[in-house]
Amino acid sequence: MKKYLNRLYQLLKSAAKDPRVFLRVVNTVPSICSACGFSRAYKDSGRETGETVSPAANPLWEYFQNHKVGRGIWKWEHYFDIYHRHLARFVGRKVDVLEIGIYSGGSLGMWRSYFGEQSHLYGVDIEGACRAYASDHVTVFIGDQANRAFWADFREKVEGIDVIIDDGGHDPEQQRITLEEMLPRLRSGGVYLCEDVHGRFHKFAAYATGLVNELNSMNPAPSPFQSAIHSIHFYPFFMVIEKHDVPISRLSPCKHGTEWQPFYHWLPNDPGRKTVPEATPPP
Ligand SMILES: C[S@@+](CC[C@H](N)C(=O)[O-])C[C@H]1O[C@@H](n2cnc3c(N)ncnc32)[C@H](O)[C@@H]1O
């Protein structure tokens, strides 16, 4: 009962904070329900089930396969394809990588092997035992990723980060707070990865979908979020955000050509309009 009252309180609090946004979210609920129905009943005409992990060359996967003894690495196997897809461009470069969730230290070794000698790794864990994994190329911070003061201290001590991998406590609140504290600090061109977003109606997945709304917003000029954020990607249990290499200053539609049909104008200042005097008014 207490749980339901708390949920109701959270709903009312959101509604009171920004009633307009709240109503717009409520308006999308039928679409979300349709998508749930469609995806749960989904039947595909594509190929039959094959390998989970891409057979394409992937040094991370090879490292993991060959890592039979020593410091433990704990990853879902389909993650290796996602890592390599988004992180390959940092290989061999001077790169600062933060992994939240050190556990037995093996993944820090994997990242160092992948990114190379110029990389520096920052590991965060709530367990003091993880201090043991510090070295000349690994800086360990002990703290709670859900604590905003911890991140303020981290930002004081670390000048910049190119890659953030959240493999910590996997609680939606922890994931949200970590993103809010660290995404604005990620360097341009950086990549933010959040692992283990498990289950339908996950609160962090819902939060990330809320970010997609801002990415799609129509403004005279890109909002600060649109200017900085290149894309948001969803995979099973995994979300990735990529930043633009250089923050963008416009999102503009383009039409090339001189001949246009009169029946379709999407925007009032559509260049096609000029070639069609008194065209059929748009709906
Ligand atoms: C899944 S393990 C990390 C696995 C490791 N990255 C690997 O690939 O082998 C999760 C780690 O997150 C740490 N952790 C749990 N809650 C945390 C929190 N609130 N803040 C920071 N670390 C946390 C745990 O102590 C544990 O070491």
25: burial class by Cβ within 10 Å (0-12, 13-18, 19+)?
middle
Closest ligand 1 atom to residue 174 Cα is 19
pTM, two decimal places: 0.92
Question: Pairing state of beta strands 186-195 and 161-166?
Answer: parallel
pLDDT at residue 273 in the model: 61
Residue whose entry in the numeric block shows the structure tokens 């000349």: 136
Cα 173 to ligand 1 centroid, rounded to whole Å: 14
> Any bridge partners for residue 121, and if so which?
97, 138
What are the tens digits of pLDDT across the range 113-144? 999 999 999 999 999 999 999 999 999 999 99
Are the beta carbons of 166 and 101 closer than 8 angstroms? Answer: yes
Closest ligand 1 atom to residue 72 Cα is 9
What are the tens digits of pLDDT across the range 173-183? 999 999 999 99
Q: Out of 102, 142, 173, 176, give the residue to mutate to test ligand 1, the one with the largest number of ligand atoms within 8 Å of its CB.
A: 102
Pocket of ligand 1, beta carbon within 6 A: 72-75, 99-103, 106-107, 124-127, 144-146, 167-169, 174
For residues 46-79, b (16+ Cβ closer than 10 Å) or e, as one string? eeeeeeeeeeeebebbebbeebeeebebebeeeb
Contacts of 180 (CB under 8 A, 6+ apart): none
Question: What architecture does CATH give domain 59-243?
Answer: 3-Layer(aba) Sandwich (3.40)
List the domain boundaries for the chain: 2-37, 59-243
| Least trusted range by pLDDT, from 34-38, 50-54, 82-86, 164-168 | 50-54
**DSSP result, 35-53:** HHHHHHT----SPPP--SS
Q: Is the pLDDT assigned to residue 170 strictly greater than 60? A: yes
